[in-house]
Structure 1
């Protein structure tokens, strides 16, 4: 048998790819509900600038002039509460599109990931130039994968944020405790004198028997240091 020429192989592979793309995009379109067919197209729209230069500041010269598609492609910002809240809003917008859970059922994850990667490299004008079936499938794959990535990212952000709060709480409590008491040196000798005074003068009141041996200020320092043990420290950090 005579093997096919490189051009014949290229033509056959190209035809197979085109057929697969046609079947894949058609199946995706059929699984999309009516509301989810129009919603993804809103991602590529860029808000019109305010001709009067007025407004709330979100529609001029900044992030407000970008399409949501650009925001969707971006990774989370610095580790802070505002970043977590912004990612939640972004996730809510993606979930509001209403992509069904079975949208890519039976399709390899690598295929969906490939379409997502393809969409990540495209601009709004590229989506507008593509056929409706291809455009919707690209946007659906992008939203589908990014939704999962954002959920994982939110979990990671929350863990890091809680850790950051914990570290800040420890430093705050350490500073508070340092301000509340000074470490008492020679506690063992003080406690020994305290015990001896109590034994020598069992009938005397505290003021007459104890204070001459160990002053009230020293006793207060010992009590404060005793309260600043690990259990009390952890309780204050958690609070």
Structure 2
């Protein structure tokens, strides 16, 4: 893999791959056949803190630029002894030339401490951490060990840092809390099992919305307090959360108790938002479906009952012309013939009366559909969702939602003094008449408020 981009500009090449006077003094002491490889290793280590392993790490543009500086052929790089005795001797000369010393045990301990305290919290991939760690060695003028040793150092530091994060989270999990989480792992495919909690909300229907409400209620009951969790936008939190999502219940049960509970807690904290969004989407879809089905049902009955009269504007013009020509004539002699007969006028009257009550019929069908089938979802939804708004315009709607939460499931008769929130929520023409002295059922206006 090349160490620089093939598309580097001439200015980039000059800034990063130019030899200085002191470099030439050292370079001239090497044999002509090895000078190009030596120069490549020298400039690569100065820039990145590591040595190359083969010629493929250097783009052709870099090789050509280096060869021009020392008067060599670019092909000479292929014959360089990268890992043999000559290469090792050259690496030692380069370290001495650049003022680097060999890493000691205390240097490796300091590098590990820095990696754990400063680098791990950034949530970088392994390659990014490797580059930053090499930069630390360069800044301290210490020769970095082999890549395998650095990889082991990074792995150990990352594991230790993650353990610290998970131990802090696990400290907030009580024994009873842990037992309930273990029960979810044991009942993997159940509604509130570990796999069930990962499932999508499904199609908008009454069964799926009740299941989604149960899952959200479980998550809200078992989610850890905010002070126990890192910021969910934190890179390490995202990494650990993805790890928990990708694990099965079986692999989760294999973790030690503290680590298992902490991973589960991170998963639940993130899943709470997703389940809330999914439940709201289901609720919106179902409410839309109730209204659409009621409208389509009434419209179908309306078409069956009423023969729509087309061209009423032209009909009105013909009637007006006939009336103007015979203002003293009888209706049956003047208007009926111009309209095409009394049946046409009667059809217009029926159409008008039917359309005038169309919305009322829609809401009557909607109310019946809600009471017979969809009403049972209301307590479950309101039990897990909380509605808020800083907009005063929505205050009436929020009051209606609070009222729904208090009265959902109630079949008692309400009186005007009970304060049913209708104004600004339910259209006046759609409010259901009371049953004597203004009394009404608690469920009468729930579909409109919903």
Which of 314, 323, 328 is residue 196 of structure 1 equivalent to? Answer: 323
Q: CA-to-partner distance for each residue in 1:139-165, whole Å, 9 max, x for gaps?
A: 111111111100011122222223333
Alignment check: 8 A CA contact 1:113 1:145 kept: no
Question: How far apart, in 2, do the equivalents of 1:94 and 1:8 lie?
Answer: 42
Alignment check: 8 A CA contact 1:29 1:133 kept: yes
State the aligned residue count: 219
> What is the CA-CA distance between 1:190 and the residue it aligns to?
4.5
Q: CA-to-partner distance for each residue in 1:91-136, whole Å, 9 max, x for gaps?
A: 1112122521333144644333322222222223222221111111
> What is the CA-CA distance between 1:209 and the residue it aligns to?
8.4
**Against the structure 1 CA distance between its residues 128 and 158, is the aligned structure 2 distance closer, same or farther, given a 3 Å change threshold?**
same
Q: CA-to-partner distance for each residue in 1:56-100, whole Å, 9 max, x for gaps?
A: xxxxxxx65x87111111112222222111101111112122521
**Against the structure 1 CA distance between its residues 107 and 69, is the aligned structure 2 distance closer, same or farther, given a 3 Å change threshold?**
closer
Instruction: Indicate whether 1:153 and 2:282 are aligned.
Output: no
Q: CA-to-partner distance for each residue in 1:151-201, whole Å, 9 max, x for gaps?
A: 011122222223333332332232122122112245346444377299425
RMSD of aligned residue pairs (Cα, Å): 3.3
Q: Secondary structure at the match of 1:159?
A: helix
Alignment check: 8 A CA contact 2:231 2:237 kept: no
Instruction: Indicate whether 1:36 and 2:177 are aligned.
Output: yes
Question: How far apart, in 2, do the equivalents of 1:42 and 1:4 lie?
Answer: 47
Instruction: Indicate whether 1:179 and 2:304 are aligned.
Output: yes
Alignment check: 8 A CA contact 1:44 1:67 kept: no
Q: Secondary structure at the match of 2:210?
A: helix
Alignment check: 8 A CA contact 1:177 1:228 kept: yes
Mapping of residues 44-123 of structure 1, within 5 Å: 44-46=185-187, 68-106=193-231, 108-123=233-248
Q: Which has the higher contact order (CA 8 A, sep 6+)?
A: 1
Unaligned stretches of 5+ in structure 2? Answer: 1-99, 101-142, 365-450
**Against the structure 1 CA distance between its residues 187 and 108, is the aligned structure 2 distance closer, same or farther, given a 3 Å change threshold?**
closer
Alignment check: 8 A CA contact 2:307 2:347 kept: yes
Question: How far apart, in 2, do the equivalents of 1:222 and 1:107 lie?
Answer: 64
Question: How far apart, in 2, do the equivalents of 1:189 and 1:134 lie?
Answer: 80
Alignment check: 8 A CA contact 1:32 1:103 kept: no
Alignment check: 8 A CA contact 1:120 1:142 kept: yes
Larger Rg: 2
Question: How far apart, in 1, do the equivalents of 2:227 and 2:353 lie?
Answer: 58
| Structure 1 runs, 4 residues or longer, greater than 4 Å off | 206-216, 231-239
Question: How far apart, in 2, do the equivalents of 1:132 and 1:70 lie?
Answer: 19
**Aligned equivalent of 2:387:** none
Mapping of residues 117-136 of structure 1, within 5 Å: 117-136=242-261
Alignment check: 8 A CA contact 1:25 1:134 kept: yes
Q: Secondary structure at the match of 1:26?
A: helix
**Aligned equivalent of 2:295:** 170
Instruction: Indicate whether 1:18 and 2:159 are aligned.
Output: yes
